[in-house]
Structure 1
Amino acid sequence: MRHTVIDPVGVLVEDADVESLEPSQVEEIRTLAAEHGVVVFRAQTLDDVRFADFLRSLGEIVFTEGETPVDGHPDLNVISNVGRTTTPRSTFHVDTSYVAKPPSYTALRAVTVPREGGQTVFSNQYRAWETLPVDMRSDLADRTLTHVVTGLDLPDDAESSAEHPLAALHPLSGRRSLYMSTPKRCASISGMTAEQTARTVQFLYDHSTAERNVYRHTWQPGDVVLWDNRCVMHRADHSGVVGDRVMHRGMAR
């Protein structure tokens, strides 16, 4: 696939139709996502049926309980500002990291693009890990982080907490990334007190999301954006949005 690398995270693929991918192209997309974190496809014409098929080509579709499903497509969820009286809020996070087997991939399909604003912002968690001080990497390399759910009304028997390596080794790239989420979801780091955990998590979060380490994606009609949750965090920037912003989201593991 012809692609252009986006600094500091991501690639723009210029010659792929995600409606009609060959198995070799799916593997190439997995490789690109593992190496670069974010894969941007422009000028796509797929509907939700084909969007779900694309996700299934990458793995088993998973749905986060508590989200709003797309009408007629219960495997997908809708993200929208339409009809809201308050501006949505979003902080950098990893999708559904509070379960034992989180989704490897998330994708968004642009349904309605606002006239202004509404970017999605991605952080390079490989670079976040690699640019930490050497002594800090040594201290954190074998620690785990307990992720907990926030902001969702889950059934009593739903998973709501999981422990993952903080310096996670990506199974495809073989590189370590800083695997964390928004601070409210980072409950404890192994071997640390609550105070040490809070201080360390905030430092790592600020370090990860510094402007030099993020790519701001400005949406265009027809965009499909895929990212690898194992090596990026993301957030929606809802400031300065003019017009309707509607995205359909799916996840696969």
Structure 2
Amino acid sequence: MTAATPSRSTTEASALVIKPLSSFTGAECTGVDLANLKAGEWDRLREAYGTYSILVVRDQQLSKPDQIAFSERFGELELPIRADYLGKDYPALHVVSNLGKDGKPNPKAALDNPGNFFWHTDASYMQRPASSTLLYAIEIPPSGGDTLFANMHAAYDALSTEMKQRIDGLRAVHSWEQSRHNSGSRPASAEEIAAAPPVAHPLVRTHPKTGRKGLYLGNHTSHIEGMPIEEGRALLKQLLEHTTQAQFIYRHQWLTGDIVIWDNRSLMHKASDDFDMGGHVRRLHRTVVQGDVPR
């Protein structure tokens, strides 16, 4: 998939500290170098990831090959649907930024893809959606530009018994083409639609590792299979509003050198646009791990 150098391990004593970030999701990891893992550190990180769904690893200095090599520990990397998102030197590494073709920061209105500012779970429009996403902060505005995460398991658990019964067995149609429309982005090209045709996934997804149920929805959803379009979209909107209540959200305030790793099977996310996008740069390196077929 890539020509990245495998991440290295040493036998020196570990200084890795892992501590919870909130009562329901996320853990902060310090004292570790992901490009030079020490004995036992990967096992501890993997266990924490399974427990907390988000790992925030501080103070990293990762080259592109370093990030790719560490990302591949989670599984096979997937390539973006958009051809212009393919990394020029490493196709699987996508640079997320508000920089225009002239190299200057663009305001939100000038972006042809504002989809990052809408709640979504990565690549849910694919037959095998993304499992993990790794986002590494290269340049961050002085304030704002946070990433918000909504825990879809906690949101499902909080539903009424009546709603759980209503949505049991329903399947939502996820569509790259509809997602572009939902976010007001450039329309999907014929090539993109052919690469990512609409696909139906369970509205209530069971996590393949933990067996925990969670809602599976977001900006990439179009409608509910077998339900009148507008009725299905109203239900999706209701569930999205429920899932993105404050009690289900962790808000990450970026520091340069942070790499955040999250589980798309458990969480929705979106970037906040609460900074001067025309005056400050927000630039991160993104790698995505292919997952399995939702059940």
Q: TM-score, normalised by structure 1?
A: 0.91
Once the 2 structures are TM-superposed, how far is the Cα of residue 84 of structure 1 from its aligned partner? 4.2
Using the aligned pairs only, state the percent identity: 27
Aligned to 1:132, the other structure's residue is in SS state coil
Name the counterpart of 1:247.
284
Q: Does 1:127 align with 2:137?
A: no
Name the counterpart of 1:178.
215
Superposition pairs for residues 58-69 of structure 1, below 5 Å? Answer: 58-66=74-82, 67-69=84-86
Name the counterpart of 1:158.
195
Q: Find the structure with the greater CA-based Rg.
A: 2
Aligned to 2:201, the other structure's residue is in SS state strand
In 1, distance between residues paired with 2:34 and 2:267? 22
Q: 1:74 to 1:130 in 2, by over 3 A?
A: same
The match for 1:105 among 117, 132, 136 is: 132
Q: Which moved more, 1:148-157 or 1:38-47?
A: 148-157
- Give RMSD over aligned pairs: 2.0
Aligned to 1:164, the other structure's residue is in SS state strand
Q: 1:250 to 1:212 in 2, by over 3 A?
A: same
The match for 1:226 among 241, 261, 277 is: 261
Per-residue Cα deviation, 1:129-155 (whole angstroms, up to 9, x for no partner): 111111111221222111001334361
The match for 2:72 among 47, 50, 56 is: 56
Aligned to 1:72, the other structure's residue is in SS state coil
Aligned to 2:73, the other structure's residue is in SS state helix
Once the 2 structures are TM-superposed, how far is the Cα of residue 85 of structure 1 from its aligned partner? 3.5
Name the counterpart of 1:216.
251
Q: Does 1:80 align with 2:97?
A: yes
In 1, distance between residues paired with 2:44 and 2:167? 32
Indicate if the aligned counterparts of 1:35 and 1:173 stay in contact, CA closer than 8 A.
Answer: no
In 2, distance between residues paired with 1:178 and 1:134? 14
Q: 1:33 to 1:164 in 2, by over 3 A?
A: farther
Q: Does 1:71 align with 2:88?
A: yes
Aligned to 1:135, the other structure's residue is in SS state helix
- Aligned length in residues: 251
Name the counterpart of 1:93.
120
Once the 2 structures are TM-superposed, how far is the Cα of residue 33 of structure 1 from its aligned partner? 2.8
Name the counterpart of 1:46.
62
Aligned to 1:29, the other structure's residue is in SS state helix
Once the 2 structures are TM-superposed, how far is the Cα of residue 246 of structure 1 from its aligned partner? 0.4
In 2, distance between residues paired with 1:140 and 1:76? 36
In 2, distance between residues paired with 1:169 and 1:212? 22
Once the 2 structures are TM-superposed, how far is the Cα of residue 28 of structure 1 from its aligned partner? 4.1
Indicate if the aligned counterparts of 1:5 and 1:12 stay in contact, CA closer than 8 A.
Answer: yes
- Gaps in structure 1 of 5+ consecutive residues: none
In 1, distance between residues paired with 2:26 and 2:286? 18
With a CA cutoff of 8 Å and minimum separation of 6, indicate the structure with the bigger relative contact order: 1
In 2, distance between residues paired with 1:31 and 1:167? 24
The match for 1:202 among 237, 246, 252 is: 237
Indicate if the aligned counterparts of 1:42 and 1:222 stay in contact, CA closer than 8 A.
Answer: yes
In 2, distance between residues paired with 1:194 and 1:147? 13
Aligned partner of 2:244: which letter?
T
Per-residue Cα deviation, 1:21-79 (whole angstroms, up to 9, x for no partner): 36964454344333322110001111111000011111001011215233311111111
